[in-house]
Amino acid sequence: MKQKKKVIIIGAGLAGMSAGSYLQMNGFRTEIFESYRMSGGLCASWKRKDFNIDGCIHFMEGVSPNEVFYPFWNNIIDMKSIDFVFFESHSVVDDSNGNRIHFYSDVDKLEEEFLSKAPEDKKQIKEFIGLIRKLSRMRLPLNKPFEVMTIADKLKVAYTMFPYLRTMRKYLNITNLEFASRLKNPALKYAIETAFVGHQPLFYSIMPLVWRNKKDTAYPKGGAALISGMMEQSYIESGGKIHFKSRVKRIITNGNSTRGIELENGDVHECDIVVNAADGRTAVYDLLGGKFKDRNIIERYEGETFKTIDKTLYVAIGLNRDFSDVPRKIYFHIDKPIYIDKLTTMNYLEVTHYCDDPHSAAEGKSLLALMPEAKDWEYWHELRQSNKPEYRKEKKRIADAVIEALEQKFGNIKDFIEMVDVATPATYIRYTNNWTGGQISWKATKKTFGKPTTWEIKGLKDFYMTGQWAGTSGGLVNVVMMGNHLTQIICKNEGVTFTDHVKSI
């Protein structure tokens, strides 16, 4: 590269900061424009009274140095400096008859648990456990994106993946609900139906169990604040710059290439390349005015293949009580269903406590978080805009119902509450501009499997996209990896030899 090219990145979520860091490593001059006053995007935390609410991380993937995801993090942040908590059990599910199923992280313990609780389902259990064992041997070939692979690379991928293709195909064609319907034992059936997303192919839901079995999943003490903070610091130290409170209003184009961006306050910033690491729909239809669309974009935003994930609320409760004797994450049946919105009524709740993280609450106190579904995101968005008192009343109604359910289940809740905070899809839209206010982007379905990442739009030069909307799904490790992959693509297009380390000068 003769002269260092200037890249403007829209959005300082993990995707934007990862892309910025990898581009800096490769000699590009980058600046990020972020609409909020802080970095992190959805990887956010906030303080309420004495409690630090981790509004994101339940589990972080890519924490084992022996596994393929680890370098994507470790090239940017010092993973060894993070104090990770590994959980013996990912979650437990309690049904209405007092039965409890543990989803142990270790596959041998999980098998023992399932067989002892549901011996009549031995055949299905062996199939399920066998699948985890088989996929635990798979090393996903993720070091390069498809777009930069040579023929030799592609042959190597085919060779690596060949032993798993039939298995993948089979379990992409079975949804969790279909698998659950084959089980005879009501407690195990309920556990699979409740802890796994019903419509999702079993293949997608089993992968987190595979990563847990490989000790590749944990919780970082310090949570979302720690991870976003480390990503920001590393990016700044690499020479990058973040402009906060700088919402991009327009991507400036000249003919068929990008020239820069215009902010909401009218400021114009020129550059050689624009990378969108913020909401994808907004970039295509608002920032670019819908003038540039190719087949992949139309399939994603105008077709039937891609559907956005079901939205949730985020109810955080601060207790003046130690909750650490309770499993870290419990799904439990509730006798009195909770009406959330016209598309959602909850018959169960899922509660996570953060007692393993001293940053979350003072000693002896506990932070709990629940994520009841809220499928009618437009209702929450419109209610907040049109009638704030009613919006607040609705949030309180749901918080009260959740507290009542917790009281019934655990006892000693109501008298110990010090803090209640409810976020809705409207909250996520407001703070991160994600169009449907969901926690991640697309539903992972059989139809979206293997669909190309929308890194570029045909017909528009010097414009790229990354992050959860450009890929087929979200998740922290995924968007961090995308920063690396995007940089490899840009390097190829610009004739730069890619590195994933800081170049010595």
Ligand X SMILES: Cc1cc2nc3c(=O)[nH]c(=O)nc-3n(C[C@H](O)[C@H](O)[C@H](O)COP(=O)(O)OP(=O)(O)OC[C@H]3O[C@@H](n4cnc5c(N)ncnc54)[C@H](O)[C@@H]3O)c2cc1C
Interface contacts to ligand X, rule CB under 6 A: 10-16, 33-36, 41-43, 55-61, 247-248, 277-279, 314, 432-434, 439-440, 467-468, 474-476, 479
State the sign of the Cα–Cα–Cα–Cα dihedral 396, 397, 398, 403. Answer: positive
Q: Give the nearest distance from C-beta 160 to ligand X in angstroms.
A: 24
Residue placing its CB nearer to ligand X in the complex, 9 or 129:
9
Q: Is 438 helix (H, G, I), strand (E, B) or coil?
A: coil
Match 């011996």 to its residue by tokens: 119
Residue placing its CB nearer to ligand X in the complex, 265 or 386:
265
Residue placing its CB nearer to ligand X in the complex, 95 or 471:
471
Q: Is 168 helix (H, G, I), strand (E, B) or coil?
A: helix
Q: Give the nearest distance from C-beta 205 to ligand X in angstroms.
A: 14
Q: Is 227 helix (H, G, I), strand (E, B) or coil?
A: helix
Q: Give the nearest distance from C-beta 480 to ligand X in angstroms.
A: 9
Strands 314-319, 366-370: pairing kind: antiparallel
Residue placing its CB nearer to ligand X in the complex, 220 or 318:
220
Please name the residues in contact with 58: beta carbons below 8 A apart, sequence gap of 6 or more.
219, 329, 352
Q: Give the nearest distance from C-beta 199 to ligand X in angstroms.
A: 19
Residue placing its CB nearer to ligand X in the complex, 92 or 370:
370
The C-alpha atoms of residue 92 and residue 279 are separated, in whole angstroms, by 34
State the sign of the Cα–Cα–Cα–Cα dihedral 446, 375, 247, 53. Answer: negative
Q: In this structure, are residues 9 and 22 in contact, taking their beta carbons and an 8 Å threshold?
A: no
Q: Give the nearest distance from C-beta 41 to ligand X in angstroms.
A: 2
Residue placing its CB nearer to ligand X in the complex, 189 or 269:
269
How many CB atoms neighbour CB 460 within 10 A? 20
Residue type, 77: I
Q: How many angstroms from the chain centroid is the CA of residue 252?
A: 30
| Element at 417 (helix H, strand E) | strand 417-423
| Element at 482 (helix H, strand E) | helix 476-494
Residue placing its CB nearer to ligand X in the complex, 253 or 434:
434
The C-alpha atoms of residue 422 and residue 368 are separated, in whole angstroms, by 12
Nearest in space to 443 (alpha carbons), one of 299, 305, 288, 244: 305
Q: Give the nearest distance from C-beta 33 to ligand X in angstroms.
A: 5
The C-alpha atoms of residue 425 and residue 413 are separated, in whole angstroms, by 26
Quote the tokens at residue 265: 């306050």
Q: Give the nearest distance from C-beta 471 to ligand X in angstroms.
A: 8
Largest CA-CA distance found in the chain, in angstroms, rounded = 70
Residue placing its CB nearer to ligand X in the complex, 10 or 486:
10
Residue placing its CB nearer to ligand X in the complex, 41 or 372:
41
Q: Give the nearest distance from C-beta 276 to ligand X in angstroms.
A: 9
Q: Give the nearest distance from C-beta 449 to ligand X in angstroms.
A: 18
Quote the tokens at residue 246: 């700088």
